[in-house]
Amino acid sequence: MNTTSPQQQHTPASWHGGVLSIDLAALASNYRCLSQHAGPAETAAAVKGDGYGLGLDQVVRTLSRAGCRTFFVAHLGEAEALRRIFPPDDATIYVLNGLMPAMAPALAAIHARPVLGSVEEIEEWRSFANAHSAPPAAIHIDTGFTRLGLSPGELDDLVGANELFSGMEVALLMSHLACADEPEHPMNREQLARFRQAVELFTDTPASLANSAGIALGTGFHFDLVRPGIALYGGRAWVSGENAMQRVIGLDVPILQIRDAETGSTAGYGATYQFERMSKVALVS
């Protein structure tokens, strides 16, 4: 029920505090721009954190209309929310946090693909896949981020034990760049070399390395699928030049007062800030 009176409905927006605007057309444009730069590689979308805080429903519907068919979320709850929006034929869902103990049936029920990053996860998923109908999975290789993922040594051991993967389908091999927003950082080439070695172990398995900034590093980093996140929402992917991404989020806040602050005066609870010179202060809310 709407409890707003007719008088309230026609009052100026500035009387009601800050206004956050979300430009879905800009979101779609950013996806198309990144997809164009990714060339023949598929462009997926990272939509974790409720679509980076913009609302999962409107974000994924916008991206889907722009051509996106593969989405990366953080955990099962996000995968369930996304599957309620799109059936399996319309959206492939990868769960970055991987497989928690006893989670396999819940993932299979919504046709979500776990990103497996440990020997224990792979063993549990293989066991489940051999006994039940299970979707494909991704294998996460840690090439230098020291976060989630198998070490290259662990991967070599696993590939040597071929039976570990028997009965399960590996649909994607992936890793994550640590320094992609620093194009000249030697870590980029080091991770690329390690990832290429891992890719050689999985014949004909699609591979994914590039995040938002990774797309800007060039086609050698694109492989079969790129996974932009922050750039979709207006963040910078290319370090040099103007930001090619359109602004998706805007915040307009009225200025309540502009006042002078004397040198040596303080501001804020606990007087935590001290002015080192005469300053003008704008108060917004």
pLDDT tens per residue across span 38-93: 999 999 999 999 999 999 999 999 999 999 999 999 999 999 999 999 999 999 99
Could you give the C-alpha distances from 54 to 20, 81, 92, 223, in angstroms and in order? 10, 14, 21, 29
Query: Could you count the other beta carbons within 10 Å of the beta carbon of residue 228?
Result: 29
Q: Which residue has the tokens 């991206």?
A: 63
- Given this model, what pLDDT does residue 7 score? 54
Please write the tens of the pLDDT for every residue from 91-115. 999 999 999 999 999 999 999 999 9
> Under CATH, to which class is 20-234+242-249 assigned?
alpha beta
Round to whole Å and give the CA distance between 123 and 181: 35
Considering the candidates 52, 233, 269, 273, report the single residue annotated as catalytic.
269
- The rounded percent of the chain whose pLDDT value lies above 70 is 96
Considering the candidates 31, 48, 52, 233, report the single residue annotated as catalytic.
48
- To the query of whether residue 31 is one of the catalytic residues in this protein, the response is no
* Domain spans of the chain, in order of start: 6-17+254-284, 20-234+242-249
Query: Among 19-33, 187-201, 207-221, 230-244, which stretch is predicted with the lowest mean pLDDT?
Result: 230-244
Round to whole Å and give the CA distance between 231 and 34: 8
> Has residue 5 got a pLDDT over 70?
no
Choose among 145, 238, 160, 136: nearest CA to 195.
145
- To the query of whether residue 48 is one of the catalytic residues in this protein, the response is yes
DSSP 141: B
Give the global pTM: 0.89
